[in-house]
Structure 1
Amino acid sequence: MRTDLDKRKRARRKKVLAVISCLMAVVLVINGWFIIRTLVGKGGASDSTQSQPAERTPLKSIEADVFSDQMIVMDLTHNKVLFKKAADEKTRPASLAKMMTALVVIEHTEDFDERLKIPHDIYTYLNGSGIAVAGFEDGERLTVEDLLYGMLFNSGAECCLTLARHTAGSEAAFVKMMNEKASELGMKNTTFGNCIGLDNPACYTTARDWMRLTRYALKNEHFRQIFTSYTYEIKPTNKCDETRTIRNAAVRRFGNDRAGVFGGKLGNTTQAQLCLASIAKIDGWEYVCISMHAQRTEEHYNPHVDDARTVYKQIAEKLKEQE
C-alpha cells in the first residue's frame, strides 16, 4: 500500500510541476511580446533619441540696413536687445506719444464703461488743423474704452483730449502726469509737451526710451489687449445709430505680409517723420521693434513698416537656420 501511495504522490508532483512550467512559459512569452511591441512602436530607444529636434537658442544679434534714423529691436521673451541704430539720439515721438497717454489713462481709470461727452471746444481747436482724428462727432458720448481704442487704432486727437481732461482736469495737468510716469520708468531722455504728440520743443524722446515704455506698457493686460487687437466694435451712441467697426491702423499697414506682426502704433509729424512701435510673434517668441524718423520717398512709401518687416523676417530666417 505504501508503494502505491508513493506512486500517487509522485504523479501529483509531476502534474503540479508541469502546470507551473506551463504558466512560466506563458508569462515569458507575454513579456517578450510586450517588449518587442514597445521597441517597434518607439522605433528603438536610440532612434527616438536621435530624432528629437535640437533646442532653439535665442538670437544674440541681427544686422539690418534700415531707412529709420533711430531704431531698436528687442527679443521681448528673453529681454535681449538684438539691434540698435542711434538709439540714444533725441527725436520727436509724434503719435507714438498716445501710447503714454493711453497708459496713464488706463492706470487711473476704474470704470471703462463710463460715457464721456466730447467737448465742443475740442473740435473748435482741431477743425482745419490737419491733426489726426478718429472721426467721432462733436458732443458724441462714448465709453472710456471706445476712446482708448479710437486713440490707439486711429490716432484720434479728440479721444486724447477728452480722456486727458476727464483723467486730470486739464491737458496741462495730464501732461504733468505723463512726465511723472516717464521719470518713474527711467526714460531719462524723454519729456512731453502735449498729450497728442504734436511737434513741440518740450516733446522729445529716444528709441531706447520708447522701448522702455513699450516693454512696461505691454505688461499691463488692458493696454496689451488694445495694442494687440485688430478690430473693435463701437456700439450705437447718441450720434450714431449703427455699430461701427474700427481696425488697428498699424497692423493694417503691413497688408498681407505681416511677418508675425500682431500689434502696433503709428506716428507721423513734420519733424518726427514716420514712426512705428510694433510687436511680432515668431516661432512662439515675442519681438518688439521701435523705428523712428523714417523719411518717405517715391520708392518707399512706408519705410518705417518696411524696416520692421525686414528685421522680423531676418529674425525668422535666423531661427529657421537652427532647425
Structure 2
Amino acid sequence: MRKISSVLLCVVLLVVCSIPVSAEEKLKLTARSAIVMEAESGRIIYEDNSSEALPPASVTKVMTLLLIFEAIGQGKLALSDEITVSEHAASMGGSQVFLEAGEVQTVEVMIKSIAVASGNDASVAMAEHIGGSEDGFVAMMNQKAKDLGMKNTVFKNCCGLDTEGHVTSAKDIAIMSRELITKHPSVLKYSSIWMDEFIHKTKKGESVFGLSNTNKLLKQYQGCTGLKTGSTSQAKFCLSATAKRNGITLIAVVMASNSSKDRIKDATTLLDYGFGGCRVYEAPDLKKKLKPVPVAGGEKQEAKIASKKIFRTVLINGESEDGITYNIQRKKNLKAPLKKGDAAGWITYYQNGSYIGKVQLIITEEIGKLTFAKSVSRVLKQFLYQLAGDVSSAKSPQSIRWDKK
C-alpha cells in the first residue's frame, strides 16, 4: 500500500511540475493599477486592474506633451517660438521651474521643463499659448482622449494637480503614451535627458536654473527612454515608463504605487516580464508577389509597387508565427500622373484569423500623364511593332522549298 501511495505521489508531482506557468499569473506589485504594452502594435502583454479611473498626478503631462508635439507637427508651433509666461502660469504650485510672470522662454525650453523637471508652470504657459486659455487647452485634451478611445479619462487641468474628477486609467495612459512616442518619437530626446539647464531671463536679470529628471528609472533600467512620473497625496506614485531592447519598445504604466522606490520596482517588474515574454516577428519580403498595378491615362500602362515598410509585430508568451497570414489588396483605378510614394493599396496581416496590422503599398516610379502627342506616338509605335511582326512572320525567299522535278 505504501509503495502504491509513493508511486501516485510521484505521478502527481510530475503532472504539477509539467504544467506551464500561466501567462496570466499575477505579478507582485504594490501598484493599485498596472499595464505593460508593446508600443508598435499596441498589444497588451500584462495588465492588472488597468481600467480603474484614478488620479494620475503629473503623468497627465503625457497628454500635454502630445498636444504640444502635434501643434509642432502641424506647423502651428516651432521649437524656437517664444512663449510669454502669464500671471496664472507663474502662480502654479507643486513641481515647477519657477518661471516668472512676463518671462519669455522658447518652446524647446518649455518642453524640457515639462518632460525633465515636470514643471507645472511651463505646462500651463504652453496650454495657454496653444489653447488660448488653460480651460481651452483642457477641452482639447479631453477631445483627444475621446479620439484615442481613452474610455476612463476626464482631464480637469493640464498639469495633474489634484482636482475632483481629474482621473484616467493605466490603460488610457498607455494609449496616450503610445500615441506620443510612436507619432512623435522626438519627445524621447527630451524625456531621456538626465540633467540640463536653462537661463531665466527676467526684469531682475539672468540666472541659471538646473533641470533634473524626476524619472530615476533612466539610470536604473537598461534601455529606458522615458517617459513621465507623477505623485500627489491623492494619486500616490505613478509612472509611465518607456524602454527599448532588441528592437522592441515597451510601455509600462503603474498607478498608486506606495512610494517612489516602489513605482520604480513595479515598473521594472513589468518591463522585465514584457521583454522576457515577447519576440519580434518580421514578415518575409513579398516583392516577387507584388505585381504592377494598371494605370489609366499614363505614359506607362502599369506602375511598379512595393511595401512602404517591413511589417513587424510582437509574438507574446510563446505564440507561433505559423498562424500569421496576409492579404494583398491593390488599388484598381489609379490614374496618371503618379509620384513615387503614392498609395497603391495595402497588405493586411492576420494572426489566427484576427487582424493584427497592415502595411501600405506605394508606387515606386513616377508616371506622367499621357499627352496627345505621346498618345499618337504610342499608337504609331504599336502599329509599327505589329507591322514588323507581320513581316517577320511571313516566309522569306530563302525559306521557300523548291521541289526537284
The normalised TM-score by structure 1 is: 0.70
Q: 2:133 is matched with which residue: 162, 170, 178?
A: 170
Confirm whether residue 120 of structure 1 aligns to residue 87 of structure 2: yes
Deviation at 1:110, TM superposition (A): 2.2
Find the residue that maps to 2:95 and give its secondary structure: coil
- Cα 1:281–1:61 shift into 2, 3 Å: farther
Structure number with higher relative contact order (C-alpha < 8 Å, ≥ 6 residues apart): 1
Is it true that 1:313 corresponds to 2:278 in the alignment? no
Once the two structures are TM-superposed, the CA of residue 79 in structure 1 deviates from its matched residue by 3.5
- Equivalents in 2 of 1:75, 1:319: separation in Å? 9
TM-aligned CA deviation for residue 169 of structure 1: 1.4
**Bigger Cα displacement from structure 2, 134-143 vs 195-204:** 134-143
Letter in 2 for 1:226: Y
Go from structure 1 to structure 2 and tell me whether the alpha carbon gap of 1:140 and 1:175 turns closer, same or farther (over 3 Å shift): same
Does the 8 Å CA contact 1:62/1:314 hold for their aligned counterparts?
no
**In 1: Cα distance, 2:117 partner to 2:160 partner:** 14
Q: Where does residue 281 of structure 1 map in the other structure?
A: 244
Higher Rg of the two aligned structures: 1
1:221 maps to 185
In the alignment, is residue 91 of structure 1 matched against residue 50 of structure 2? Answer: no
Paired AA for residue 113 in structure 1: S
Which residue in the other structure is 1:54 paired with? none
Higher normalized helix content (fraction of residues): 1
Kindly report which structure 2 residues correspond to 1:125-274, keeping only aligned pairs within 5 A, or say none. 125-126=91-92, 129=93, 131-219=94-182, 220-234=184-198, 237-238=201-202, 241=206, 246-250=211-215, 253-254=216-217, 256-274=219-237
CA RMSD of aligned residues (A): 2.8
> Structure 1 residue runs of 4+, over 4 Å off?
60-63, 238-245, 315-320
Q: Number of aligned pairs?
A: 254
Unpaired segments ≥5 residues, structure 2 = 1-22, 280-317, 319-405
* CA gap 1:214/1:205 in 2 versus in 1, 3 angstroms: same
Moved more, 104-113 or 80-89: 104-113
Task: Report the CA distance shift for 1:256/1:97 in structure 2 as closer, same or farther (over 3 A).
Answer: closer
Which amino acid letter does the alignment assign opposite residue 198 of structure 1?
L
Contact 2:192–2:218 (8 Å) recurs in 1: no
- Secondary structure, counterpart of 2:250 in structure 1: strand
Given that 2:45 and 2:274 are in contact with CA atoms closer than 8 Å, whether structure 1 keeps it comes out as no
Cα displacement (A) at 1:77: 4.2
Letter in 1 for 2:143: E
- Distance (Å, rounded) in 1 between the aligned partners of 2:278 and 2:62: 30
Q: Do the aligned residues in 1 keep the contact of 2:34 with 2:170 (CA within 8 Å)?
A: yes
State the identity as a percent. 27
Q: SS at the partner of 2:37?
A: strand
Cα 1:121/1:316, change in 2 over 3 Å: closer
In structure 2, the CA distance between the partners of 1:170 and 1:183, relative to structure 1 (3 Å rule), is same
- Could you tell me the TM-score, scaled by structure 2's length? 0.57
